[in-house]
Amino acid sequence: MLTSISIVIGLVFVLLLFSLLASTVMEVIASIFSLRARNLRDTLDNMLGEEASNFMRHPLFRQLAYATNRKNRLSSLSLPSYVSKDTFLAILMDMMGEEDKDQLEEKIAKLDEGDLKRLMQFLFRQSGGNPNKFREKAGKWFDEVMNRASEWYTRRVKYILFAVGLVLAFIFNVDTIQVYQSIASSATIQQHLLEVASQYVEQQDSVQTVKQNSNLEESMAQLDNAWQQFEYNTSPLGIGWGSIESDLGLPGWLIKLAGFLISAIAVTLGAPFWFDLLKKMLNIRGGTKVVANEKTESGEGTATSASSVSGTNTSIANKEEENKQGGPVG
């Protein structure tokens, strides 16, 4: 039982480290191609329509864009990765006019016909023309749209993360099936992974996720750290193409491809998933080990008791024999 749990712990720990490595590579790609900035631009275009260009030309928004370090990205897009609700409302109300009800209504009336104008008119009616309530309604609108935009971005990134995981699995030969076989066939590897996994969990309460919205230089530093951590902890497994057989045959390559696909799918679950699972497995192993020790101690106690009873019975039998014969039994 303990051996099986140790194998699972080792495999989960390897997948955790691989997920961290793939997530870091994903963050480098997001930094290079400004994926979050592009998502923000598309969201603002969807929300504001033709007024999106005016919004992005606002001095406050341009200051945010200027603060974004373009030198650390290959993309020519100069936009912030995100905009807060307060910033969005400040710019929107400056465009709409928040001094009084009449000015707000006049600005809305001057908007081009389209979804934005109809939405602004709806919010105006909902707020009763009160600029403060209008701002509050616009804030709720911003939250709902940004939540959906975030969900859409997460789904999109998962597809990219799957591709990244598959490429990394092929480059470094991270075949989950082979990794499992290597761990299951070696008690030494099981012990090594169990020790480093326990140390990893003890040193932190939660997994050290990749820092988002970082520039390219920071992302590369995170990537280097993730690679060193992965390489050091998985070195006994012999991950890589050096030890692979030259001719696997078609069945062998199909199995290896399946292992690569499993590794890529594992990456999309995210490092926090594997970290939580690792903690649970370590707790289960700890509890199982305690129960096993208790059973062992209980067995030893039973054997001792049985021996004592046997000795007592023998002594009683000897005394009875003495009484019958009228003397001590030798």
- State whether residue 98 is helix, strand or coil: coil
Report the pLDDT value the prediction gives residue 110, as an integer from 0 to 100.
Answer: 86
- What count of Cα atoms within 13 Å lies in the side-chain half-sphere of residue 267? 31
Residue 51 CA to residue 95 CA, distance in Å, equals 9
Residue with tokens 């390897």: 14
Nearest residue to 181 (alpha-carbon basis) of 238, 265, 241, 235: 238
Split at pLDDT 50, 70, 90, the class of 67 is low
Indicate the range of 70-79, 138-147, 247-256, 321-330 predicted with least confidence.
321-330
Element spanning 103, H or E: helix 101-109
Question: Over 60: is that where the pLDDT of 69 sits?
Answer: no
Q: Tell me how long the chain is.
A: 330
Residue 53 CA to residue 210 CA, distance in Å, equals 32
Indicate the range of 162-171, 215-224, 237-246 predicted with least confidence.
237-246
Report the pLDDT value the prediction gives residue 72, as an integer from 0 to 100.
Answer: 47
Question: Residue ranges of the alpha helices (H) in 204-270?
Answer: 216-234, 249-268
Split at pLDDT 50, 70, 90, the class of 9 is very high
Split at pLDDT 50, 70, 90, the class of 193 is very high
Per-residue tokens: 215: 């520039």
Work out the burial of residue 310: count CB atoms within 10 Å of its CB; fewer than 13 is exposed, 13-18 middle, 19 or more buried: exposed
Report the pLDDT value the prediction gives residue 99, as an integer from 0 to 100.
Answer: 65
Residue 183 CA to residue 177 CA, distance in Å, equals 10
Per-residue tokens: 8: 């699972």
Report the pLDDT value the prediction gives residue 303, as an integer from 0 to 100.
Answer: 42
pTM of the model: 0.75
Average pLDDT over residues 154-183: 93
77 DSSP 8-state letter? -
More confident residue, 77 or 154: 154
Phi, psi of 244 (to 5 degrees): -80, 145
Split at pLDDT 50, 70, 90, the class of 112 is confident
* Whole-number average pLDDT of the chain: 81
Q: What pLDDT digit, counting tens, does each position of 229-281 carry? A: 888 888 888 787 776 655 778 888 899 999 999 999 999 999 999 999 999 99
Residue 272 CA to residue 103 CA, distance in Å, equals 50
Report the pLDDT value the prediction gives residue 81, as an integer from 0 to 100.
Answer: 81
The amino acid present at 272, given as its one-letter code, is P
Domain ranges of the chain: 2-32+160-284, 35-155
